[in-house]
Structure 1
Amino acid sequence: MYSYHEQVLLLFSTPFYIIIIGAEVLLSSLHFHKKTYTLKDTLTNIYLTIANGLIDMAFKLSYLWVLVQVFNHSPFRNWHTGALYWVLLLIAEDFTYYWLHRFDHEFRFLWAVHVTHHSSRQFNFSVGFRSSVFEPLYRFIFFIPLAFAGFKPLDILFMYSATQIWGTLVHTELVGKLGWLEKVFVTPSHHRVHHGSNPRYLDKNMGMFLIIWDKWFGTFQEELPEQEYAPIQYGLTKNLENPNAFTIIFHEWIQIYKDVTQKGLTFKQRFKYIFGPPGYSHDGSRKTSKQMEREEAGQPPLSSK
């Protein structure tokens, strides 16, 4: 079920991850005197990535079949696999991931899947493995246009796996800003913002590899000095009080059910509790990220109807 290229990535990336996580643990505690890891949180990250991997393996033949069918009916499938092909695939896949990630944040039924990745109050390399467990069930839909454009399905999956390595490495507090790289690529500084629950940082910096999409489509936010704004608070705007193996994955789905089954709601209100933005409430009891950002900035509130 894995292409040769994916097998090579897996072979070399696994020991690499072990080394960098070990180095981060030592550096953070011995040199920076900062506790960036806890045993419980790290074990949770491992549990979530294993759960994600099992679902991905179980479903992979199905979604790969879909991508192959689309590719076989594409009028553009006779590409030569030269350097230009791989560069274009990298750009196209990263663009596609940006929109997948952005939709994960903007539609509550997708956020209910993605929220697990943001549920840690730590920020370290291991959090990069805190996977959105059920994302493999729909992620391939965003790759269908790539298959139609003539990119081979196994190459698409390989490129996604390759950019995920970069996406994992930006989960760290130990690397500061990286000069000119900040203008083009997603960096640890950019991704710290993405994991912040501060109102100004919510739903920002959605890219995996290139930050240019956020700058083009209005979701970019630079990491601000603490004296100018506030220290980054990692986690959710309302963190789980007693997280466990079940609630970490399903808590948002449970809350959606409770919201939708409230008495006296209109069809539109029930619809928005599922398909509207996370934080929507018909009575103003909760706030969306945009509402919280406007409130913090002292701007007029948005309607919750």
Structure 2
Amino acid sequence: MNYILYAVPFFFLLISLELLADRWRGLSTYRLSDALNSMSTGVLSTTTGLLTNVVGLLIYTLAWEHLGIVEMSAKDWWVWVVAFVFYDFCYYWLHRMGHERNILWAAHSVHHQSEEYNLTTALRQTSTGFLLSWVFYLPMAIAGVPPLVFLSVGALNLLYQFWVHTKHIPKLGWFEWIFITPSNHRVHHAQNPIYMDRNYGGVFILWDRLFGTFQEELDEEPVIFGVTTPLASWNPLWANLQFYAVLWQDAARAESWWDKLRIWFMRTGWRPADVEARYPRSKPDLSRFVKYDVPLTRGQKVYAALQFVIYVVIGSYLLANGAQLPLLTLLLSCAWTALGLYAIGAWLENRTFVRWLEVVRLLLNLPLLWLAQQQELIGAGLLPWAVLAAYTLISLGAMSALQRQWVAPVQA
């Protein structure tokens, strides 16, 4: 069962309720551009995951078949309980190393880039984590946990983590001692020095208490969310590449070949001495912290939000039917999704080229619709063409109208 797919409507229901709670309590935990950027990285992650998740699953299955020590059955209830706890233990170490090693932080940093903290932040997921994350779950395969159980408890672990991404829930008494809660996960998303690299558990906070990485949220130290190397962009593609680019630049600048290689596997933030001397980086001054923002008109915001809805719908369709789709269709779908989400990010950044990019994006839908009909993904009648034509004309008209009242500062 695809738990994530069935959870999507509940995600958006809870996001709506959090927005109502914001209004009721007079808080402001949402900014449209930030929320769309978080959800865009989530859509990109689930879409590309249709192609990339098979890597970890294949390796896990091979390890389970050939290296498994104990033969466990998915029919035994205790197997599910053990696997659920075991998974969170493995997740703790993956998560911890994701903060402590450069190459792993390059993938995981996507989840921390938002400078807000709300339920859309939970949807902010990496598209490159599949490269190395599978290593940390091999102990489960070797122990004999069946792939079906592994996938199921992994999805449940991820679903649990959704609700802890909120500022509306205070400390929860005794619950704080055993489980991950909104309070101790707010600590995890902080860039305050006292809070950084703490509270790694997915479901259980016990691992952090056991291994010395627990930190309580302090009333006298309000959390400042985000990363110390700010993303300063609404581009979901750049969000996934930003820290890889930082490492690549430092590796290219290093004179020693040993430094060029080891920088990827050193502790997060480590830089070769010669690079640090020639290209020093200043420490962030949190007393002067200002959230990244680009002023937009109300019309620009509405346009971006409505365009994003299309990618949520198509992304949900792909999530539901990806296993039955041909490889070429999945590749084209990933490329189409990446282009569209990039265009929305460029729109939110008010880039000078975005109007032309939007025209190209809208026109590319024509051959893609034809391909979809050839693959029998949608009906072959005239109705899809009529709907696409209406959508294209409305979008072009809205973009033209917005261009005449384009009052926000334009970025190059």
The TM-score range, normalised by the shorter chain, is 0.7 to 0.9
Q: Please report how far the alpha carbon of residue 266 of structure 1 lies from its aligned counterpart in structure 2 after TM superposition.
A: 3.4
Q: Please report how far the alpha carbon of residue 181 of structure 1 lies from its aligned counterpart in structure 2 after TM superposition.
A: 0.4
Which of 29, 48, 52 aligns to 1:55? It is 48
**Residue 208 of structure 2 aligns to which amino acid in structure 1?**
D
**Residue 275 of structure 1 aligns to which amino acid in structure 2?**
F
Structure 1 partner of 2:270: 280
**Residue 247 of structure 2 aligns to which amino acid in structure 1?**
I
Change (3 A) 1:27 1:78: closer
Q: Are 1:165 and 2:159 an aligned pair?
A: yes
The 10-residue stretch of structure 1 (57-66 or 47-56) with the greater mean CA deviation from structure 2:
57-66
| Seq. identity, % | 31
Q: Are 1:231 and 2:225 an aligned pair?
A: no
Structure 2 partner of 1:153: 147
Kindly indicate whether the alpha-carbon contact (under 8 Å) linking 1:280 and 1:287 is maintained by their aligned counterparts in 2. Answer: no
The 10-residue stretch of structure 1 (162-171 or 265-274) with the greater mean CA deviation from structure 2:
265-274
Structure 2 partner of 1:128: 122
Q: Are 1:95 and 2:89 an aligned pair?
A: yes
Structure 2 partner of 1:184: 178
**Residue 27 of structure 2 aligns to which amino acid in structure 1?**
K
Q: Distance in 2 between matches of 1:113 and 1:11?
A: 23
Kindly indicate whether the alpha-carbon contact (under 8 Å) linking 1:64 and 1:153 is maintained by their aligned counterparts in 2. Answer: yes
Q: Distance in 2 between matches of 1:60 and 1:120?
A: 24
Change (3 A) 1:12 1:56: closer
Q: Please report how far the alpha carbon of residue 103 of structure 1 lies from its aligned counterpart in structure 2 after TM superposition.
A: 0.8
Q: Give the secondary structure class of the aligned counterpart of 1:246.
A: helix
**Residue 105 of structure 2 aligns to which amino acid in structure 1?**
W
Kindly indicate whether the alpha-carbon contact (under 8 Å) linking 1:197 and 1:235 is maintained by their aligned counterparts in 2. Answer: yes
Kindly indicate whether the alpha-carbon contact (under 8 Å) linking 1:93 and 1:160 is maintained by their aligned counterparts in 2. Answer: yes
Q: Distance in 1 between matches of 2:55 and 2:126?
A: 19
Where in structure 2 are the equivalents of 1:205-284 lying within 5 Å? Answer: 205-226=199-220, 230-263=221-254, 265-281=255-271, 282=273, 283=276
**Residue 145 of structure 2 aligns to which amino acid in structure 1?**
F
The 10-residue stretch of structure 1 (275-284 or 124-133) with the greater mean CA deviation from structure 2:
275-284
Q: Distance in 1 between matches of 2:147 and 2:191?
A: 36
Q: Give the secondary structure class of the aligned counterpart of 1:121.
A: coil
Kindly indicate whether the alpha-carbon contact (under 8 Å) linking 2:72 and 2:79 is maintained by their aligned counterparts in 1. Answer: no
Kindly indicate whether the alpha-carbon contact (under 8 Å) linking 2:87 and 2:140 is maintained by their aligned counterparts in 1. Answer: yes
**Residue 266 of structure 2 aligns to which amino acid in structure 1?**
G
Q: Please report how far the alpha carbon of residue 218 of structure 1 lies from its aligned counterpart in structure 2 after TM superposition.
A: 1.2
RMSD of equivalent CA atoms = 2.1
Structure 2 partner of 1:38: 31
Kindly indicate whether the alpha-carbon contact (under 8 Å) linking 1:277 and 1:288 is maintained by their aligned counterparts in 2. Answer: no
**Residue 235 of structure 2 aligns to which amino acid in structure 1?**
N
Change (3 A) 1:71 1:202: same
Q: Please report how far the alpha carbon of residue 11 of structure 1 lies from its aligned counterpart in structure 2 after TM superposition.
A: 5.0
- Of Structure 1 and Structure 2, the greater helix share is in 2
Change (3 A) 1:287 1:185: farther
Structure 2 partner of 1:70: 63
Q: Please report how far the alpha carbon of residue 276 of structure 1 lies from its aligned counterpart in structure 2 after TM superposition.
A: 1.4
Structure 1 partner of 2:315: none
Change (3 A) 1:280 1:79: same
Q: Distance in 1 between matches of 2:17 and 2:203?
A: 23
Q: Give the secondary structure class of the aligned counterpart of 1:233.
A: coil
Kindly indicate whether the alpha-carbon contact (under 8 Å) linking 1:104 and 1:110 is maintained by their aligned counterparts in 2. Answer: yes
Structure 1 partner of 2:78: 84
TM-score when normalising by structure 1: 0.85
Structure label with greater radius of gyration: 2
Q: Distance in 2 between matches of 1:193 and 1:103?
A: 17
Change (3 A) 1:80 1:11: closer
Which of 7, 10, 33 aligns to 1:13? It is 7
Structure 2 partner of 1:300: none
The 10-residue stretch of structure 1 (233-242 or 205-214) with the greater mean CA deviation from structure 2:
233-242
Structure 1 partner of 2:17: 23
Change (3 A) 1:80 1:129: closer
Structure 1 partner of 2:108: 114
